[in-house]
Structure 1
Amino acid sequence: MTSSASVAAGRLPRALCAALLAALLLALLAVLNGWIALPETARRHAGAALTVVAYACFCAGVYLRRRAQGAAMGRAGGGRGAGGPAILVAYASQTGFAEQIAAQTADVLRAAGMAVRLEPMGRVDAAALRAAGRALFVASTTGEGDPPDAAAGFARRVLAAPADLAGLEYGVLALGDSSYSRYCAFGRALDAWLRLHGARPLFDAVEVDDGDPGALRHWQHYLGVLSGSTDMADWSAPAYATWRLVERRLLNPGSPGAPAYHLALRPLDGGADWQAGDIAEIGPRHPPAEVERWLAALGLAPSAAVSADRGLSTLAGALAGRALPCDEAGLAALRGKTAQEIAGALPALPHREYSIASLPADGRLELLVRQVRHDDGRLGLGSGWLTEHAPVGADIALRIRVNRSFHPPAPGRPLILIGNGTGLAGLRAHLRARAAAGAGRNWLLFGERTRAHDYFHRDEIEAWRRGGVLDRVDLAFSRDGGPLRYVQDCVAAAADDVRAWVAEGAAIYVCGGLQGMAAGVAQALEGILGAEALERMAEEGRYRRDVY
C-alpha cells in the first residue's frame, strides 16, 4: 500500500467516527431542547449521556492527536515511534494486578505513538529479549519470594541460563508486599539477572508495596520520560495539601541554558515531615489568561459559579487544574454544555515531580526548578506554573511522596554525591542532613554549563567545603571553553579515588537527568568498579539514584 493510500485509509474510519458522533450529539440535543417529546426521566438520562459522549469525544480527539504526533515522531526519529521496533511490555501476574498495570502501561505508550507488544512473561525467552531493543517488565512476587505461577517456567528456563543482552534497555516495576520477608524478590531477581547479562536499565527498578499509588505515579513519571508524553492522566490522583509559595529566586541570570529557580514553600494545613531523598508531587495549573482565552472560544464567562472539589468556585478557577482540549473536535464536543457540566467532564492535570532540596528543620520545603519550553515557545506545565505563572504568595497543591530508595545512608558511612543541573536539589538535601548529623566524609561531583552563571548554591557549597562537611568538590562546566567536559568525565578522571572511597565503605548517590548524565555516570562507575561490584552495591543500598 502506498503512503498516500495509507493516509486515506486512516482518514476514512476517523471521518466515519466523527460523523456518527455528530449525529448522536444532534439527537441528544434534540431531546434536551424538547424537539423530540420524551418523559422528564428520559430527558435527564439523555443529559447524562450527552456528558459521557462529550467526554468521549474529548478523549478520542486527544488520542487521535497523540497518535498522529507519535507517528510523526517515529518517522522523524527513525525507529522508536509507531513505525519502529515495538517496545516489549512483559508481565508476571498472580492475581491479575500486574497484568492490569502492564495493560495500562501499554496503553500509555501507544497513546504517545509508540509501537508496543504486550506479552505474559511465560511467552518470553532470551531470544525475544535480545530482539526487543527495549522492554518494560511488570513483575509480581507471590508467597515467600516466588514468581507467579504463570512465570515459573520463565524463571526456570530463562533466569537460570546465561544470555547476551548487551543490546537491551529495560525498566522493572516490582510489585510486592513488605509484610513478607522476601519483599519484591522476583522483581529484584529479574532486575539483577538483566543487569548481570549486559542489559542497561533505563531507570532504577520501581518497587510497589501493596499497590502503593505513589510508587505507581512514579512509574507513570518514567513512562512520560520514555514516551515524551507528559500530559497523561494520573492513574491515582495525589491527595494534595495546600502550600504557600513564599520565595522565588532566579539562580542563573545570564546563563546560556534555560532559567533555573530556587523556590520555597510553607504548608498551610499544619506541619509536614520528610527525609532527604523524598519527592514533592506538584499539582500544576494553567495561567489565568490561558483559561480565559479557552473559555472565550466556548463563549463562557470565567466568573460563572460552579461546584468544585473544595466547594464553590468560579469556572475559571475550577478549570485551571483541568486538561483543556484545544483542538476543534474537543471544543465542538463541549459547546452548548453548561459551566457545571464542563467543570465535571474534564480530567485533572497530571502531577509533576521534583526532588526536595531542604529538610523540615529548615522551616520550609525548597525546590530547584528549571524552566522547560516546548518547541512552540510555550512554557512547560509544571515549570511554567512554579517559575512564572504562580505569583509569590499563591497557594500550591503539593503532596510529599516518600522515596525510600533514595533515603540517606548511616551517618558513619562515607558518601559520594554525583549530579548535574537541577539534580543538585536532591544532593543538597543530603548534604544538609549530613551536616546536621556531623557526618563529614562527603564528596560532591557536579556538572553544569558555566561556572560564572550555573554554579547553583555556590556560597553554600563553598562554606561546606571550608567547614569540613565536604572533603572534596569536583566540578565540570561544559560551556567554559576547551573540550566538552561533563560530570561523568569527572568521575572517570577520579577513578583511583572512587575505588579507594568505595573500599572504605562509601555509598554513591546520583541525582539528575535520566537522558545522558545517568547513563554516562553508570558507565563510568562500571568501568571503575566493574558491573558486578556496582550491582552488589545497589543490592546493599550503597548505590542509589534519583533520576528523571
Structure 2
Amino acid sequence: MNARIGQAAIGALLVVLALLCWHLQDSAAVQVTSPPRMAWAGGLALAWMAFVIARVRRSTDAATQEVGGILVVHASQTGFSTELAERTAAALKNGGLPVDLRSLDELTLSHLTQASQALFIASTTGEGDAPDVATLFHGEAMRTPARLRGLAYGVLALGDRDYDDFCAFGRELDDWLRASGASPLFDRVDVDNGDEGSLRHWQHHVAHLAGTPGMADWVRPAYQTWRLVERRLLNPGSLGGPCFHLALIPDDPAHMVWAAGDIAEVGPRAEGTILPHREYSIASIPEDGALHLVVRQMRGKDGALGLGSGWLTERAALGGTIDLRVRRNPGFHAPSDDRPLLLIGNGTGIAGLRALVKTRIARAHRRNWVIFGERQAAIDRLHVDELEAWSEAGHIERLDLVWSRDAVAVRYVQHRLRLADDALRQFVRDGASIHVCGSLDGMAPGVDAALRAVLGDATVNHLAVTGRYRRDVY
C-alpha cells in the first residue's frame, strides 16, 4: 500500500506543478494581481491526493480481507488434513492472530503473493499422488516456480511409510515453495500414519507462531518415568538467562535408546497436574549413560518462570521423577557416511550439535566444521570446553566460536559464515551436509540468508531437497 500511496503523492505533486505553471503564465500575461489561485490549487491537489489514497486503501483492505491474515491451507483426501487444519487455525486464533482457512482447491497464486505467512497441511493419496482437491493447483500453479519471495511457510506432510513414495505430495509442495523463493519457517514435518509425536511437533511450531506456549496438547504423550540425576549451572553471571546442564536416566534401562538429533518430550508439572509438553534437543548419546539436556530458564513478561524450563531447572527435585519420552527425529540424524558435516548453532542449540559431534567421533568421521555463537567468551561457555578439546584432538576439523557481546565486527554465526565464503563453497563442493540447531528467531533465518548469499538459491534449495541441509530450530 505504501508504494501506491507514494504514487498518489507524486500524482498530486504533478497537479500542483501544473497549476503553478498555469498561474504564472496567466499572471505574466495579464500582469495584474489575480485571486489567490495558489491556495485554490493546493486545495485541489490535497483533495486529489485524499481521493487517490482512499481508493488505494479500499483496494488494499479488500485484498487483506481476501487473504485474511495467516493462510492455513489443507489438501485432504479423507478429511484428516482438514481436521488438523481446523485445529491449527483455532490455535492461531486463540493467540489473537487473523487466520484465513482454505482448501487447496480454493487457493490461487494471488492469495500466496498477498500473504506473508502460510501453513500447509497436505495429504498424499494412492501411490504418491496429490489428493483430488489439489488436482487443479498441482497441475497448473505448481507446474513452474512462482514468485513468492515474501512468503514464509510451513508444511505438515501426511503419509504412510508402507508406501514407497512417502509423503510425496507434501514433499513436492515443499520443494515448489522453496523453488518459488518462499522461506520455510521451520523444516517440513512428515507424519507417518498419524504419528502422534510428529503431530505434537507441528503443534509445538504452531504454538510458537501463536505466542501461546501453554496450549493444551492435542494428544498427550505416552510418557515414561525418568529421574533427574544432575543439574548444573553452565553460565553463572551471564547477561542472558541461566543455562543448565541436566542429566536424566530412565527407571527402565530399555528406554535408553535414541540417536543424535532426536527430541526429548517432557511433561512439566504444577501441583501434580501434567502441563502441556515441552520439546528439548538431546545433548548426549546413549553411550554417555544418561540423557543430557541444555535448558535455559525462560520467563514471561510478568517475570514468572516458564512452565517447562522452570520445572526442569528449579522446581523438580534432584533425584525426583520426570515424565519424559524420546521422539525420533530422523530428519536431523547424522549422515551415515563420512561426508563432511557443517554444524551451525547458537545458545542452547549446543545440545543438538554436541550429540551430533559425539556420534561423528564414535564413527571416526573427522571432517567436522563447527560454528557456534553465544554472548561472552569468559562466561557463556556452554560445553565449549568440550568443543575445544575435540578440536585439539582432531575430531573437529575447524572450530569457529563467535561471541556477540565481545565482538567488534563479527557478532553472530551468520556473519562468520559470510566471511568464510570460500571455505564454505569448497566444503559443499566436497559433498558436505549442513545441520543448524538453535534459535528460530534471528539465527536460523540469518544463517539461511548467509548460505543463499554465498552458495546461491539454487544450491541451497538442492541441498534441502536432497537432505543435505537440515534444521532443528525453535
1:143 aligns with 2:126: yes
SS of equivalent residue, structure 1 residue 159: helix
Match of 2:343 among 392, 410, 417: 417
Higher relative contact order (CA 8 A, sep 6+): 1
SS of equivalent residue, structure 2 residue 292: strand
1:142-176 C-alpha deviation (Å, 9 max, x unpaired):
11211101110110121114421111111110111
Alignment of 1:471-486 (within 5 A): 471-483=397-409, 485-486=411-412
The answer (yes or no) to whether the contact 1:172–1:205 under 8 Å persists in 2 is yes
Give, in whole Å, the separation in 1 of the partners of 2:460 and 2:167: 20
Match of 1:451 among 357, 374, 377: 377
* Structure 2 equivalent of residue 547 of structure 1: 473
The answer (yes or no) to whether the contact 1:85–1:133 under 8 Å persists in 2 is no
Give, in whole Å, the separation in 2 of the partners of 1:429 and 1:162: 37
Give, in whole Å, the separation in 2 of the partners of 1:522 and 1:416: 13
* Structure 2 equivalent of residue 217 of structure 1: 200
1:283 aligns with 2:209: no
* Structure 2 equivalent of residue 354 of structure 1: 280
1:390 aligns with 2:374: no
Give, in whole Å, the separation in 2 of the partners of 1:457 and 1:426: 12
SS of equivalent residue, structure 2 residue 326: strand
Match of 2:140 among 142, 157, 160: 157
Q: Judging changes above 3 Å, is the alpha-carbon distance between structure 1 residues 521 and 366 closer, same or farther for their aligned structure 2 residues?
A: same
1:241 aligns with 2:224: yes
SS of equivalent residue, structure 1 residue 451: coil
SS of equivalent residue, structure 2 residue 365: coil
Q: Which amino acid aligns with 1:146?
A: D
* Structure 2 equivalent of residue 527 of structure 1: 453
Alignment of 1:76-225 (within 5 A): 86-225=69-208
Q: Which amino acid aligns with 2:196?
A: P
Q: What root-mean-square deviation, in Å, do the aligned CA atoms of Structure 1 and Structure 2 show? A: 1.5
Match of 1:265 among 248, 252, 257: 248
Q: Which amino acid aligns with 1:426?
A: G
SS of equivalent residue, structure 1 residue 174: strand
Shift of 1:232: 1.0
Shift of 1:460: 1.0
TM-score by length of 2: 0.85
The answer (yes or no) to whether the contact 1:478–1:486 under 8 Å persists in 2 is yes
Match of 1:228 among 204, 211, 214: 211
The answer (yes or no) to whether the contact 2:368–2:398 under 8 Å persists in 1 is yes
The answer (yes or no) to whether the contact 2:247–2:290 under 8 Å persists in 1 is yes
* Structure 1 equivalent of residue 234 of structure 2: 251
1:463 aligns with 2:447: no
* Structure 2 equivalent of residue 380 of structure 1: 306
1:5-38 C-alpha deviation (Å, 9 max, x unpaired):
xxxxxxxxxxxxxxxxxxxxxxxxxxxxxxxxxx
Alignment of 1:39-50 (within 5 A): none
The answer (yes or no) to whether the contact 1:411–1:437 under 8 Å persists in 2 is no
Give, in whole Å, the separation in 1 of the partners of 2:466 and 2:155: 18
1:488-512 C-alpha deviation (Å, 9 max, x unpaired):
1111111110110111111110000
* Structure 1 equivalent of residue 444 of structure 2: 518
SS of equivalent residue, structure 2 residue 470: strand
The answer (yes or no) to whether the contact 2:109–2:141 under 8 Å persists in 1 is yes
Kindly, what percent of the aligned residue pairs are identical? 56
The answer (yes or no) to whether the contact 1:411–1:434 under 8 Å persists in 2 is no
Shift of 1:130: 0.6
Give, in whole Å, the separation in 1 of the partners of 2:376 and 2:400: 14
Q: Which has the larger radius of gyration?
A: 2
The answer (yes or no) to whether the contact 2:76–2:131 under 8 Å persists in 1 is yes
The answer (yes or no) to whether the contact 2:346–2:438 under 8 Å persists in 1 is yes
Q: Which runs of 4+ in 1 moved over 3 A?
A: none
Give, in whole Å, the separation in 2 of the partners of 1:395 and 1:121: 46
Give, in whole Å, the separation in 2 of the partners of 1:505 and 1:448: 28
Q: Which amino acid aligns with 1:458?
A: V
Structure 2 unmatched runs, 5+: 1-64
Q: Which amino acid aligns with 1:229?
A: T
The answer (yes or no) to whether the contact 1:278–1:402 under 8 Å persists in 2 is yes
Give, in whole Å, the separation in 1 of the partners of 2:426 and 2:210: 39
1:228-260 C-alpha deviation (Å, 9 max, x unpaired):
101111111110001010000000011111100
* Structure 2 equivalent of residue 441 of structure 1: 367
* Structure 2 equivalent of residue 300 of structure 1: none
Give, in whole Å, the separation in 2 of the partners of 1:162 and 1:465: 42
1:331-379 C-alpha deviation (Å, 9 max, x unpaired):
xxxxxxxxxxxxxxxxxx2100000000111110000000000111100
Match of 1:406 among 329, 332, 342: 332
Structure 1 unmatched runs, 5+: 1-81, 292-316, 322-348
